[in-house]
Structure 1
Amino acid sequence: MTSSPPLLIAQDESVRAVVLRGAGRAFMAGGDLHSLRADPEGGAAAMLVPLNAAAESLAHLNAPVIAQVHGAGTGAGMSLMMLADFVLVAEGTGLNLAYMKLGTCSDAGASWALPRLVGLRAALEIALLCDDLSLQDALRLGLINRVLPKGEMEEAVLQLAQRLGKGPTLAMGHMRRLMRSSFERTLSAQLVAEADAFGVCTRTEDMRRGIAAFFERREPQFLGC
């Protein structure tokens, strides 16, 4: 794990798992409303350019991404949360897409991620009504993976990151991108994309190690390459 920004993480092939977390009382409570009030267009550009670059960077990583959410995940916080591969949430956390309350549409990929996670009808309800989303409903809809007591979050995230960090990172990257792109492809096109990615994996040290471990009836020791 690393505390580097996403753009730097994307350039570091030694990264095996990424944890998104917020310092202080919340994961992320949305954008800087003071700057938007003072200069709506300029403030929006100043926020969205780096935010969108980070979202793109996270999506193209090989390393899986875990969101460790506490306090609040609202606005862009909820948007970034939805881009992660795993979402662990502390009890008592507030979730709200919130954009309609400010008279604006979403950013940071929410309109892309939300309907893919919950379906169009539920996505529109969440986005247009902007009601507080209970953690039970978030679990039921598949927006989050686990709800944990605050005191158990750090250990649970660490264990998950360590487990993912021991995996075949390059293969994980292909898998996470294949799944995300599958909504834009026909089955035939997806089969081609899978075959291409599989071909890349056949040339990796990790696949050689995985197959050897299978025949030797032991756990594989992957290198991430």
Structure 2
Amino acid sequence: MQSYVEDCKLLNEQRNVILLGIKKGKEQFQSIRDLLPEFTTRTFAPRMQYDCVNTHVENEVQRNSHLQLKIFKRRAGFHPYLVIQDMVRNIFILVSKLPKSKYIYEPSGYRGDFASSNISRLMGMGASFDQFEDTTIQSSLPLGTVYQPFGVIVSYDGDSDTVYEGALYPDQSDWIYKDEITDSIVSNTEEIVRLPSYQVSDIETPLKSSVSDSDIVVKLKDDTSSS
């Protein structure tokens, strides 16, 4: 199964862009918090950090349009969240806070929705059903791997630099995979190489060299008429 899971993980540059957004968001939150006075209760802090991270993740994704990632803004009750879709591989990415001391999230409706077809996707790619015999699998139509979405969660800790990437089983009882990606960002993230974007006006179209009348040779039909 591992080889199929590897094909559903984030690509290196996708991972770097999301990590950069998390890093910038947490830095902005810290700079804002340093300017505020001390309060008896600080209920604003977790929400503000979440908002800062989401804003910078969205900005970084939009700056790197060549990655074919699309941002959707969704809401579960009073909880707003971002969904990033890999338009090429049909992979959906959530960026969410998870304390380093916690192994897994509490089950929730919206995370369950994004995990509901994870096993179906892997089985459609060729993974054996026997590997999931102890797991509750939500039945789905055999639409093929292209049409079965796969949900990935990037989890960051609010108080440290720790970041994980993983995917949940449909029943949210465990992780299909969970990798620490804290140190996987490129050494200088600001220097991510971007593919050039060309405008039609930038493309030089060589014109065929002009031909003068004197260069045109016209072969006349032989005169076969009798004199």
Q: TM-score range by the shorter chain?
A: under 0.3
The TM-score with structure 1 as length reference comes to 0.27
Tell me which protein shows more strand as a share of its residues.
2
Tell me which protein shows more helix as a share of its residues.
1
The TM-score with structure 2 as length reference comes to 0.27
